[in-house]
Amino acid sequence: MNFINQERENIKIYKRLYKRYGNSFKSLDWGSKKKQILRFEILSEIGNLNKKKILDVGCGFGDFNSWLKKNKKNVNYFGIDIVPEMIIEAKKKHKKSFFYNGSFLRNKDIGNQRFDYVFASGIFTFNRKKGNSILKKTILKMWKISKKGIAFNCLNSKNEFKTSNEYTANPNKVYNFCKKLSKKIKLNESYLPSDFTIYLKK
């Protein structure tokens, strides 16, 4: 359970951002709305999401759900986030969707369910202390509760403009870790120099 202190630190960080920016992409530490949307678009390329049950890990305000609806993707959306203020806002915006407040790695309700696809966007940024461990634990749980596959993004350690206060991962090492779970894997480094996305299918 060595990741708990890191989760508590993350809660403090996002609470401060929320207090400053409110219901905004800035509270999620996105560099711009445009980049947030681009990441959603890339994640959605894992497959046909129509009429699928999906889980958005670290959902924030449920912005991925808004993007899916705008792009005519009819999904059964579930979200989970560790920041209570963000879940309160998400429930106001998305009354027909389902949201959980708490730790994805420790939430038993989520662990007992199955989803067609499980997504995670931008959730590893502040995991400086236990970054590699948290990333692997999260991937394994996402994979366990998915029926069709998972997609997630992470900051790329190859980026020459990376900052010391953010967690970055080596895409090749993450790819090799995920390849042990399935041979149906794809690494995408083409959309932003700072990022990579991995798609893993069953």
pLDDT in tens, 87-143: 999 999 999 999 999 999 999 888 889 999 999 999 998 887 788 999 999 999 999
Which domain CATH number covers 153? Answer: 3.40.50.150
Single pTM value for the model: 0.94
DSSP labels for the chain? -TTHHHHHHHHHHHHHHHHHH-SSGGGGT-S-HHHHHHHHHHHHTTS--TT-EEEEET-TTTHHHHHHHHTT---EEEEEES-HHHHHHHHHH-TTSEEEES-TTT-HHHHT--EEEEEE-S-STT--SSHHHHHHHHHHHHHHHEEEEEEEEEEBTT-TT--TTS--B-HHHHHHHHHTT-S-EEEE-SS-TTEEEEEEE-
Number of folded domains in the chain? Answer: 1
Query: Which domain does 52 fall in, by range?
Result: 4-201
Query: Tens of pLDDT along 137-186?
Result: 999 999 999 999 999 999 999 987 777 778 999 999 999 999 999 999 99
